[in-house]
A = this chain, B = another copy of it.
Amino acid sequence: MSTPTPKITPLVDPVARPGPVNNPCAACAIRDLSVCGALKPDEISRLNAIVVQKTVNAGATLFIEGDPADAHYIVLDGCIKLYKMLPDGRRQITGFLFRADFLGLAFRQRYAYGAEAVSTATLCRFPRERLEALLDEFPEMERRLLSISSSELASAQDQMLLLGRKTAAEKLASFLWLLSKRAALKETDWRRLDLPMMRSDIGDYLGLTIETVSRTFTQFKKSGLVSFTRPDAVQLDDIDALAELAGVEESWQPSTAM
């Protein structure tokens, strides 16, 4: 379940050059969405000096639970899943990361979870020691990290409510709602969602089996809530019904990170 079969789409330049030659961070489109935005224009080169850009294929493992935590990452593109496992192989996906999301909170010696690429993904990799040294220097960056950490905590609490108290249909509706909100924040059309992750990932995220995920999708199709062109592209036809199922209160501001 965890040894992946890498696929073959290295679309992005595997390793970018840090250092003075060019200054990719300065031109970074998502800088202001993440911790990097805490630095003033003339300080950006400090980041550039420690970052290495990295592309991983779908299915590739970034690290597993228990690995020495020697780096933090920011997702530039693609989708990463974080997960924890029980000794017998049962798995819980604790989150999906997309563009601009931070990976590596939990400042400890070892990662408390595994990370694997759902689709081909590009990340900025910051050596742990050196990034944390920058935090000492730039309190504003630490402030941002605290803010990110707080949002993730809030999302985690939402997810606990989902896992502990929602039915299969409510879980799936909440999942679609969440993806839709994220899509709306970015450029994408929020009615038409990509589902880069497979059914087993969705199941492991929602505390369900593949079969239940599939059956619930069919049920949604029959009720006119959603429609599919391909299994990995869903159209939300009745957002209100989905929101109702998800248990979303009116005027609710969903958390930014999953």
Assess the A164–B207 pair: CB atoms within 8 A.
yes
9 closest A-B pairs (Cβ-Cβ)?
Answer: A164-B207, A156-B156, A163-B163, A92-B161, A149-B149, A92-B164, A90-B165, A84-B161, A94-B157
Contact check, A154 vs B108: say whether CB atoms are below 8 A apart: yes
Q: In the complex, what residue of chain B is closest to A155 when comparing beta carbons?
A: B156
Asked if A112 is at the interface (CB within 8 A of a chain B CB), the reply is yes
* A106 and B146 contacting across the interface, CB-CB below 8 Å: no
Footprint of B on A, CB under 8 Å?
82, 84, 86-88, 90-92, 94, 105-108, 112-113, 135-136, 139, 142-143, 145-147, 149-154, 156-161, 163-166, 204, 206-207, 247, 249, 255
Cβ contact within 8 Å between B90 and A154: no
Q: Kindly list chain B residues whose C-beta atoms are within 8 Å of the C-beta of A152.
A: 153
Contacting residue for A157 out of B84, B135, B151, CB 8 A: B84
Most buried by B among A86, A151, A164, A249: A164
CA distance A159 to B207 in the complex (A): 12
- Interface majority SS on A: helix, strand, loop or mixed? helix
Give Cα A163 to B94, complex, Å.
11
In the complex the two chains form, is B107's CB within 8 Å of A158's CB?
no
Known contacts being A150-B105, A157-B113, is A165 close to B249, with CB within 8 Å? no
B90, B107, B135, B207: which contacts A163 (Cβ < 8 A)? Answer: B207
Across the interface, A165 reaches (CB within 8 A) one of B92, B135, B136, B146, namely: B92
Looking at A88, A108, A150, the one whose CB has the most chain B CB atoms below 10 A away is A150
Q: Complex formed: what's the CA distance from A161 to B135 in Å?
A: 31
Q: Give the residues in chain B near A165, CB-CB below 8 Å.
A: 86, 90-92, 207
CB <8 Å contact, B92 and A150: no
Which B residues are in CB contact (< 8 Å) with A143? 135, 142
Q: Which residues of B contact A160 (CB under 8 A)?
A: 84, 92, 94, 156, 159-160, 163
Q: CA–CA, A146 to B147, complex, Å? A: 9
Given contacts A163-B164, A166-B86, contact A108 B150 (CB under 8 A): yes
